[in-house]
C-alpha cells in the first residue's frame, strides 16, 4: 500500500466544481479563468515566434529579452529595476514559482506562516518540503490581517511568511501600513518573505498596489511572484516569473532547473514583445476589470446574494445567508447542480473555516453574455 506524502490532498476544488459545471450545463463562475480572447498582438507575436524558429529549449532562467522586459516593466511600475540576469527567473506559471521558492529555502522541520484563507497550492508545497504550515486567520469579513497574531505565531522554527495581495479569494489588498508592519515583523530575523502578487495589475479606483518590490527592507529577503496568465487573459499558457535578490534567485534556480528546467519558449518571446510594445495593456487592466466588477455587482444587488467589497482581483465574494443554511461546500454543489451556476466554496482555503461562514466565490473575468446568463439564473434563488 502506498503511504501518501500528501494525506490531506484530493482533487482540487477548482477541478471538482468545473467538472460538476460541465456535467450539469452550469454557467462556470467557479474556476478563475477568463472566457474572452487574449490580446491580438500577443497571438500574433506567439505565431511569429514559432514561425521564426523559437521552438527549442529556452535558457533555464528565461529568454534574455523577456527578463530585460520584466526588469524594465518592474522599474516603470514599482520604481525598482531588478538585475535581469541575477534576479529575474521565468517559470511555468506562478504555481511553479511558489513551489520553487518554498523548496529553495524551507527545510524539514521548519514552519511557514500562511494567512487563511489562502490559495490551495501553498500548503502542499510546504508539506512536500517536510515543513509545517502555521495558519493565521484573517478577519472573516474584511480579510484584513491582525499582525499581532502573526507576530505571536513566529517561533524559532519559522522560516517563511507568505502574503498575497490582491488576495485570492477575497480581493482584499495590503496597504502601505501593512507592508510596514511586515517590515517590523521580519526585521532582525532570518525569516524569508514570499509575496504572491499574481493579480498585481487588477486593482481598482486608482489604488496603488503595494508590491514588496517597493520596499527595500522587504525585497532584500523576498521572493515576489507574478503571472502573465492573469495579466494577459491566457491562464492556459502557464507563464509566470519570480523576482528575488541574487542569493535567493540562485537557490530558486536550483529547484527550477530540476523541476521543469525551462518554460515554453515561443510564449516568452511573445511576452517580451508585448511588454515593450503595449505597456498600456497592464496599465489599463484595473479599469478594464473594474467595469466588469461594477456591472456584475449591480446585477447581484437584484438577487438574494449579498456582494462583499472587492478592492482588487477578479473574484466576487457573496454572502448567501438569505438563500440557504447549507455549509459552503453543500451550497456550491446545490447551486451548480440545481440552479446552474458554479461557484467555489471558501472552506477549502482554510485550515479551520470560521463557524457559520456563508460565503461563496464567483469569478467575473467573463464575457458579459456569460455573466448575464449567470445572473438570470441567480435571480430565481429563493431560500432553500
Mean pLDDT, 10 residues at a time, the chain of 384 residues = 89 87 92 93 98 98 98 98 98 98 98 97 97 98 97 98 98 98 97 98 97 98 98 97 98 98 98 98 98 98 96 98 95 95 95 95 97 96 72
What is the structure's pLDDT at 384?
Answer: 57
Q: Quick one: cell of 58?
A: 529556452
- Run of H or E residues at 138: none
Q: Quick one: cell of 368?
A: 458579459
CATH 3.40.640.10 in the chain, residue ranges: 40-281
Topology of the domain covering 13-31+284-378: 3.90.1150
What is the structure's pLDDT at 94?
Answer: 98
CATH 3.90.1150.10 in the chain, residue ranges: 13-31+284-378
Residue 199, CB-side half-sphere exposure with 13 Å CA sphere: 28
CA gyration radius, the chain: 21
What is the structure's pLDDT at 383?
Answer: 67
Helix, strand or coil, per DSSP, at residue 136: strand
The whole model's pTM is what?
A: 0.96
Tell which CATH classification among 3.40.720.10, 3.90.550.10, 3.40.640.10, 3.10.20.600 matches the domain 40-281.
3.40.640.10
What is the structure's pLDDT at 115?
Answer: 98
What is the structure's pLDDT at 322?
Answer: 95
**pLDDT, tens only, 288-341:** 999 999 999 999 999 999 999 999 999 999 999 999 999 999 999 999 999 999
What is the structure's pLDDT at 31?
Answer: 87
Cell 474556476 found at: 31
Gap between the Cα atoms of 259 and 265, Å rounded: 16
Amino acid at each position: 500500500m502506498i503511504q501518501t506524502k500528501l494525506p490531506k490532498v484530493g482533487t482540487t476544488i477548482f477541478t471538482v466544481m468545473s467538472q460538476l459545471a460541465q456535467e450539469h450545463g452550469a454557467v462556470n463562475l467557479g474556476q478563475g479563468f477568463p472566457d474572452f480572447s487574449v490580446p491580438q498582438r500577443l497571438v500574433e507575436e506567439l505565431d511569429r515566434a514559432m514561425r521564426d524558429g523559437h521552438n527549442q529549449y529556452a535558457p533555464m532562467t528565461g529568454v534574455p529579452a523577456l527578463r530585460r522586459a520584466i526588469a524594465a516593466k518592474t522599474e516603470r511600475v514599482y520604481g525598482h529595476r531588478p538585475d535581469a540576469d541575477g534576479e529575474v527567473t521565468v517559470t511555468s506559471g506562478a504555481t511553479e514559482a511558489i513551489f520553487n521558492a518554498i523548496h529553495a529555502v524551507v527545510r524539514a522541520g521548519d514552519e511557514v506562516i500562511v494567512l487563511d484563507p489562502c490559495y490551495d497550492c501553498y500548503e502542499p508545497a510546504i508539506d512536500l518540503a517536510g515543513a509545517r504550515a502555521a495558519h493565521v486567520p484573517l478577519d472573516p469579513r474584511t480579510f484584513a490581517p491582525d499582525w499581532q497574531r502573526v507576530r505571536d505565531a513566529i517561533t524559532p522554527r519559522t522560516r517563511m511568511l507568505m502574503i498575497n495581495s490582491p488576495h485570492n479569494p477575497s480581493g482584499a489588498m495590503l496597504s502601505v501600513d501593512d507592508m510596514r508592519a511586515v517590515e517590523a515583523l521580519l526585521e532582525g530575523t532570518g525569516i524569508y518573505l514570499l509575496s504572491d502578487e499574481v493579480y498585481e495589475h487588477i486593482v481598482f479606483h486608482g489604488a496603488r498596489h503595494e508590491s514588496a518590490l517597493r520596499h527595500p527592507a522587504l525585497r532584500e529577503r523576498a521572493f515576489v511572484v507574478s503571472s502573465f496568465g492573469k495579466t494577459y487573459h491566457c491562464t492556459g499558457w502557464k507563464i509566470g516569473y519570480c523576482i528575488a535578490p541574487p542569493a535567493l534567485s540562485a537557490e530558486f534556480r536550483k529547484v527550477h532547473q530540476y523541476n521543469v528546467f525551462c518554460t515554453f519558449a515561443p510564449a516568452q518571446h511573445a511576452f517580451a514583445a508585448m511588454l515593450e510594445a503595449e505597456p498600456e495593456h497592464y496599465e489599463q487592466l484595473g479599469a478594464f476589470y473594474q467595469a466588469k466588477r461594477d456591472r456584475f455587482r449591480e446585477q447581484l444587488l437584484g438577487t438574494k446574494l449579498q456582494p462583499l467589497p472587492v478592492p482588487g482581483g477578479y473574484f466576487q465574494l457573496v454572502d448567501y445567508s438569505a438563500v440557504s443554511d447549507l455549509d459552503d461546500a453543500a451550497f456550491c454543489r446545490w447551486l451548480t447542480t440545481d440552479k446552474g451556476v458554479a461557484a467555489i466554496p471558501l472552506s477549502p482555503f482554510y485550515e479551520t473555516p470560521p463557524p457559520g461562514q456563508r460565503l461563496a466565490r464567483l469569478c467575473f473575468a467573463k464575457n458579459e453574455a456569460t455573466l448575464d446568463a449567470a445572473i438570470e439564473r441567480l435571480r430565481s434563488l429563493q431560500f432553500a
